[in-house]
Amino acid sequence: MNPRRVAVTGVGVVTPLGSDTTLFFQRLLSGENAITRIDTFDTEAYSVKIAGEIKDFDIGPYVHPRDSQRMDRFCQFGLVASILCFEDASIQLDESEKERFGVILGSGIGGTDTFAKEVIVLHEKGPSRVSPVYIPKMISNIGAAQVAIRLGAKGITSNPVTACATGTNAIGEAFHRIKFGLEDFMLAGGAEAAINPISVAGFANMKALSRQNEHPEKASRPFDLNRDGFVIGEGSGVLFLEEWEHAVGRKAHIYAEIVGYGCSTDAYHITLPEPSGRYQALCMRKAIEEANISVQDVTYINAHGTSTPANDATETKAINLLFGEHAKSIHIHSTKSMIGHLLGAAGGVEAVVTALTLESGKIHPTVNLETPDPECNLNYTANQMVEAECRYGLSNSFGFGGHNHAILLKKVS
């Protein structure tokens, strides 16, 4: 079978800036910030007291209360984003088509909240009091399973776990499933809910998180000289992918086309990126080569842009290494500057943003970029939205352990 084209015909998000995709994107364009002090648990003893929390999430309209109690928060986010995405795609699938419909929904950490709470139950009340749904509530693949159950997807159901690259990993694999004829329809992305005592303590103690507690809205500052760590966020982002001719035949709204996917591994360190950026550049190059275009054709990048000293400098090196002088002409931004780092869900949300950016020609700002860093010498769309027609856009995700993933999207002409 000849390789097939892949259309993005549905998008769905659950984020600290809302779950209405149109409103979410408008808020990004206006530079609205969702980082606040944590209010879901007492942070008095914590060195980090800020996060990108989802304050108004209500699963009630989507799931019966009995069923929602059997889901960890990450699973609830993933299920709602997927329902919204499927509805946005406006598609009806018959039983034979559902056998060609798959779900790849990843989570970098899974049900840490459920895990932590049940460990406390075990120690305080004994093994007989541990919830009988502890395991199916906590395991990270259950998000994809719940989505498949709800939507009737009978094709592949999978859960990649590649830390902060998980969402992009999921979308890239889903893209290939359709491109090479293994499925016709895929729902793919990531979901995460790790704003809880044990996760915040762990990330804080490894010095990964920003400690700018006095001014939460200023804490996530990708590529700025005074960045001091990422701000943890939560939520979900998913795409509905469809074989191109089928999408055209039913006159679907096509947000963008996915044309390339690249991945590589630093093989260097459990948390730090390989400092030259060579393998992040390799990952992006593979995505571009799959699309059979030139590096000069790429004029927009949704960066991983975490606001950590090492990541932002290394990603800048990688972009300069791959694109050369053309790097300075690329519009780059970081969605994490406004919603924080959604870990395994980040790539899913940022893929949605990439598709909407290509479609609209509007590139949201990287907020809080106030003091230039000599090591970060590119155009990061500082503090103001810009309008620019971009034909191709990369979405980058890099995870602990050296996992590098990138997808390349094309504007629908």
Tell me: the pLDDT tens digits for 63-113? Answer: 999 999 999 999 999 999 999 999 999 999 999 999 999 999 999 999 999
Q: Convert the pLDDT of each residue in 391-405 to its tens digit.
A: 999 999 999 999 999
Q: How far apart are CA 180 and CA 100, in angstroms?
A: 13
Question: Kind and range of the H or E element at 68?
Answer: helix 65-68
pLDDT at residue 122, rounded to an integer? 98
Band of residue 207 on the pLDDT scale cut at 50, 70, 90: very high
Q: Convert the pLDDT of each residue in 269-290 to its tens digit.
A: 999 999 999 999 999 999 999 9
Q: How far apart are CA 304 and CA 314, in angstroms?
A: 11
If we measure between CA atoms, which residue out of 287, 183, 189, 190 comes closest to residue 242? 183
Band of residue 323 on the pLDDT scale cut at 50, 70, 90: very high
What are residue 256's phi and psi, to 5 degrees? Answer: -170, 170
When the pLDDT of each residue in the chain is averaged and rounded to a whole number, the result is: 98
The reply to whether 260-410 shares the fold of 7-249 is: yes
304 catalytic residue (yes or no): yes
Pair of tokens at residue 71: 């889901």
Give SS3 for 113.
helix
What percent of the chain has a predicted confidence (pLDDT) above 90?
99
Q: Convert the pLDDT of each residue in 48-64 to its tens digit.
A: 999 999 998 999 999 99
Beta carbons within 8 Å of 122's beta carbon, 6+ residues apart: 129, 130
**Residue 128 exposed, middle or buried by CB count within 10 Å (0-12, 13-18, 19+):** exposed
Q: Which of 331, 333, 341, 364 is catalytic?
A: 341
pLDDT at residue 56, rounded to an integer? 87
Q: Which of 263, 304, 333, 390 is catalytic?
A: 304
Q: Convert the pLDDT of each residue in 124-183 to its tens digit.
A: 999 999 999 999 999 999 999 999 999 999 999 999 999 999 999 999 999 999 999 999
331 catalytic residue (yes or no): no
Kindly give the pairing relationship between strand 6-14 and strand 235-243. antiparallel
pLDDT at residue 397, rounded to an integer? 98
Q: Which of 164, 263, 283, 376 is catalytic?
A: 164
326 catalytic residue (yes or no): no
* Domains in the chain: boundaries: 7-249, 260-410
pLDDT at residue 190, rounded to an integer? 98
Task: Select from 1.10.3720.10, 3.40.50.720, 1.10.274.50, 3.40.47.10 the CATH code of 260-410.
Answer: 3.40.47.10
CATH superfamily of the domain spanning 7-249: Thiolase/Chalcone synthase (3.40.47.10)
Whether pLDDT at 413 is above 90 = no
Q: How far apart are CA 279 and CA 127, in angstroms?
A: 46
Helices (H), 361-413: none
Whether pLDDT at 1 is above 90 = no
Mean pLDDT for the stretch of residues 115-121: 97
Q: Convert the pLDDT of each residue in 209-260 to its tens digit.
A: 999 999 999 999 999 999 999 999 999 999 999 999 999 999 999 999 999 9
